Amino acid sequence: MSISRRIFYTWLAILAAFACSLLILPSKDESWAGFISCSLQTLLFVICIYIIRREPIRKNKFIFVNFAMFFSLSFAAQAYFFIGKGTAFFADQQYLRLYLSQYISFGLYFFLLAVAIIYLTMDVLFRDFQVYQKYIISVGITLVFFGYYYAPYFEDPKYLYHTADVLNYHILDSNYTRYARDYNEAPTPATLASISELYSWKDDQKTGILFQEAKLDRVNALYPYLVGENWRVLLYRPIHTDAIQMAVVCIGFILLFFGYLYMRDPPQGAYIEKIMFLLLVLCSLEVLHGWSALKLVEWEAASSIWKVGIYVSDAVLLLLVGAFSMRLKFITSVKGEFYEHELAVSPSAVTRWRDSLDNLVVEKFFNRKLILGRMFVEPKRSD
């Protein structure tokens, strides 16, 4: 049986088990976009396992071990469907889904993504370093940024409920409900500000017009979140901010990767650059998703836009499936195994591999007679 068929059947078996679980067990009503995202990440995990097994160069295996660990989070995402209120497991645990979201969907997701990207960058910058040295640098850099941004969530698991905005929301919501009940009308922001003592100003000794204006500005900013389920957007704003910052860290190291390739032009393993480029697009989309979460107020609108954003990210994941598949196909071929071996033994004597996509770009957008350097050397050129 061919490798592609084994991968397909393995992936199909996992999806079948997941689909049957959704039919049999009580679960959360998640979107098709989320289901597709889980499915594609599961497929990428299976492909990474086969790449690790077939990778001819030992040090390259660890690049895809990192990616396999990252894509393995798809199984946690599948479990997320069945955990929490109204589901099959831990239905009485009110905050469990919040914990899973902040520690896995956001925390571990960006931690493993950053490690995979930074390790690959370190592999290019410090080709002669030992694997453990690259891991020390990669994990160390990731921990610095991750620890700085996510420390509050480990100090206080309910940190999102204890931010000043959420505490002030509870004060305003309580006063809003009381006023509407007593006077049979909704209070204006000015009225709500006059009867509320906000958390941010409890210990502030300032008085006068400027203080009242600042207080009113805060109430005006929080007032839209008092409607319906809009408070959920406010609740997750801090973690979306941290997600944006971690995504920017990943983008920074991807740009460092390509900057080094541009300056030094070292030969690189086949399809590695394409994988990094697609990860650049994926991380940029994460920034866009987070930015939209910070700008939106209405929960329904936010949910709709996030679903559309997930579909766009799914398209990038599908392209990653193609890139990883081409990498697997290449290293299992005779010419691919020889190329990767020569690249590991004598990289300075090897020209960069050019696939059909590279040929198309050169043919359509460049003048062959003006292109110099290893990047665009014709593989079939005769001496």
- Please provide the CATH number assigned to the domain covering 3-163+228-344: 1.20.1070
Residues 301-319: pLDDT tens digits?
888 888 888 899 999 999 9
pLDDT for res 212 = 62
- Please state, as a whole number, how many other Cβ atoms lie within 10 Å of the Cβ of residue 99: 15
How many Cα neighbours within 13 Å face the side chain of 260?
A: 17
pLDDT for res 207 = 45
pLDDT for res 249 = 97
Given a cut of 50, whether residue 381 has pLDDT beyond it is no
Residue 204 main-chain phi, psi, to 5 deg: -90, 130
Where does the chain have alpha helices with state H? 3-24, 32-54, 58-71, 73-80, 96-100, 109-125, 131-155, 164-183, 189-194, 209-222, 231-264, 272-295, 299-331, 334-345, 356-365
Mean pLDDT within 233-259: 94
Residues 42-91: pLDDT tens digits?
999 999 999 999 888 888 899 999 999 999 999 988 888 788 776 767 77
298 and 233 Cβ atoms separated by less than 8 Å: yes
pLDDT for res 22 = 78
pLDDT for res 367 = 54
180 and 149 Cβ atoms separated by less than 8 Å: no
Residues 158-189: pLDDT tens digits?
999 988 889 889 989 999 999 898 888 889 88
Using pLDDT thresholds of 50, 70 and 90, give the confidence band for residue 268: confident
Kindly state the tokens that stand for 382.
Answer: 């005769």
Q: Is the dihedral of CA 227, 178, 198, 95 positive or negative?
A: negative
Instruction: Flag the least confident range among 44-58, 61-75, 197-211, 265-279.
Output: 197-211
pLDDT for res 346 = 59
The Cα 85–Cα 182 span in angstroms is 33
What does R_g of the chain's alpha carbons equal in angstroms? 26
Using pLDDT thresholds of 50, 70 and 90, give the confidence band for residue 205: very low
pLDDT for res 382 = 42
Q: Is the dihedral of CA 325, 326, 330, 331 positive or negative?
A: negative
pLDDT for res 203 = 47
Given a cut of 70, whether residue 96 has pLDDT beyond it is yes
pLDDT for res 374 = 43
Mean pLDDT within 223-236: 89
What angle separates helix 334-345 from helix 58-71, to the nearest 10 degrees?
110
Instruction: List where CATH 1.20.1070 sits in the chain.
Output: 3-163+228-344
Kindly state the tokens that stand for 247.
Answer: 């995504």
